[in-house]
Amino acid sequence: MDPNLPVLNREEALGRLEGDVELWGEIRDIWLEDVESLMDGVDRALGSKSPDGLRRASHALKGASANVGAVRVAATAKTIEINALASEWKALTESVEILRNEVEQAKIQLKLA
Amino acid sequence: MTPGGFHQPRVLVVDDERANLHLLSISLRNEGYLVSVATNGEAALEIARTLPPDLILLDIVMPGMDGFQTMARLKQIKGSSRAPVIFLTGMEDLESKLKGFALGAVDYVTKPFHLEEVRARVRLHLQLAHAQTALIQEQSAKLRSLASAQEMLLLKPSDLPQANFSVWYESAQEAGGDLYDVIDLGNEIYGFLVADVSGHDVGTSLVATAARALFRQNAGPMYSPEETFQLANRILTGWLPPGRFLTACYALLNRNTGMLKVVGAAHPPAAIQSKNGDVRLLEVEGDVLGSFQEACFGRLNCHVNKGDRVVLYTDGLVEDIESGMAWGSSGDRLIDVLQEARNVSLNELPGHLARVLAGDSKEDDILVLAFEV
């Protein structure tokens, strides 16, 4: 992942929504409501060592986060999605830990935005 | 339908992600569309049965039934089967895009999507679907007037010598139900059609006249041979009286490439008589034309060489009236006769086959069309 990626790229997300700030606010609220459940899905798949489950759960988190502009979460989730079927569980566990931290950072910034 | 009689298009959005459903439904409703939403494939099928959509936006990766499975099931639902499907997919997912197209999707939108782009694609594909429906209705109207002409203008080999074909047609009664056509599609590409309309009355003859015009209207480079049959089938299904149908075989020959494509609609197989004397039948499976909307037509591609000859015919040539067997061992008999007829000229070949195989039988129309590569 590009270390220069911002936690939140609100402008890019707004560009896709034709600058509709109100609509962006609505999907931000949806993301804040859903992110714990999405992250639980990732944790469950990791705990049960289900490669396909991990791929699907990280795919869902990636999509939701990309929409709202949480680009670091989206990028980290994408890496896990791609590697879920081929990587060692130790490496995946570390990636999920990074993902969790990114989610916490994104929550802080999105609540403030 | 609005109170003023305007059909308000309905878009079905299927995605397990709440934010996507929210964005798409608000954006599309603001444009004036009716929007139905489903968070999984099963729910989408249920909605499609009760509120048939004009277009479907469909996510690929969903829990349970994925987008591909959902699409295949949606295509089986009356009222939804012809709605264009646009897939929602990840930017990097080439394999999914190709699979979506193979299954009949018309387009895709990459996620995260730009709302303006989604609306533009939705608008475009609704316009295309609308235009195709209007075209089908227009062609149906033309066919009705054509049928009243009560005259079949059959093309003679001398009218199109570059197609290099010959034909034998003998009608069992005054009004025949067999038809053929040869279409010059340009660039050394020719379409050869032989079809058989069920029944033996004046109405059969009118159907044959109209059907010939219909195939001609829907042949051309913008349609594959099986699409030509599918389009013709849609119109015929709405136009033919109950119990009336066609069987047909359409061969598309590209003389530049030597590629022969053959599509079948429950019709006896075409035969290839190669220059060295070998004969083989091209069995292509397919449903009859004009009985039901979602009929399927198989296609077979093969390479042919200069001097090879292809024979298309109707079942009157090969059916055994006494035994009631329309096909089967008579295929072997056709192969035998063709193998022995290598030295018969192209002009003589159809008549020769009719005399040897059908003899004096007048129980059914006999049509044989042969062309040389």
Q: Which residues contact A86 (CB under 8 A, 6 or more apart)?
A: none
CA of residue B113 relative to chain centroid, distance:
35
Average pLDDT over residues B323-342: 73
Distance CA B226, CA B223 (A): 8
pLDDT grade for B147, boundaries at 50, 70 and 90? very low
Interface of B with A (CB under 8 A): 16-20, 22-23, 26, 61, 63, 90, 111-116
To the nearest whole angstrom, how far is the Cα of A68 from the nearest Cα of chain B? 9
Of B18, B20, B26, the CB nearest to A23: B26
Report whether B281 contacts B335 (CB < 8 A): yes
- pLDDT for position B321: 44
Task: Give ipTM to 2 decimals.
Answer: 0.89
Q: Helices B18-30 & B115-147, crossing angle to 10 degrees? A: 60
| Distance from C-alpha of B325 to C-alpha of B334, rounded to nearest angstrom | 14
Compare B212 and B128 and report the one with higher pLDDT.
B128
CA distance B98 to B109: 13
Higher model confidence: residue A44 or residue B213?
A: A44
Q: What residues pair up with B186 in beta bridges, in sequence order?
A: B189
Q: What percentage of chain B carries pLDDT values higher than 90?
A: 41
Domains of chain A: 10-112 (1.20.120.160)
Which residues is B12 bridged to in the sheet? B36, B56
Q: Whole-prediction pTM value?
A: 0.58
Contact list in B for residue A67 (CB cut-off 8 A) is: 17, 19-20, 23, 111-112
What pLDDT digit, counting tens, does each position of B243-281 carry?
A: 888 999 999 998 888 889 999 999 999 999 998 889 999
Q: Could you tell me what percent of chain B has a pLDDT over 70?
A: 87
Closest listed residue to residue B275, CA positions, set B262, B263, B261, B258: B258
Place B148 in a pLDDT band, splitting at 50, 70 and 90. very low
pLDDT higher than threshold 50 for residue B151: no
Chain B residues touching residue A34 (CB < 8 angstroms) = 18-19
Average pLDDT over residues A83-90: 86
What is the spatial distance between Cα B305 and Cα B73, in angstroms, rounded to a whole number?
42
Question: Looking up tokens 């004096």, which residue turns up?
Answer: B360
| pLDDT tens, position by position, B79-92 | 888 899 999 987 66
User: Range with the lowest mean pLDDT among B3-7, B130-134, B320-324?
Assistant: B320-324
* Helix (H), strand (E) at residue B15: none
For residue B125, name the pLDDT band (cuts at 50, 70, 90). Answer: very high
State the pLDDT confidence band at B322, using cuts at 50, 70 and 90. very low
Catalogue all structural domains in chain B, each as residue range(s) with its CATH number. Answer: 10-138 (3.40.50.2300), 152-372 (3.60.40.10)
Q: What is the mean pLDDT of residues B279-297?
A: 89
Strands B165-170, B178-186: parallel, antiparallel or unpaired by DSSP? unpaired
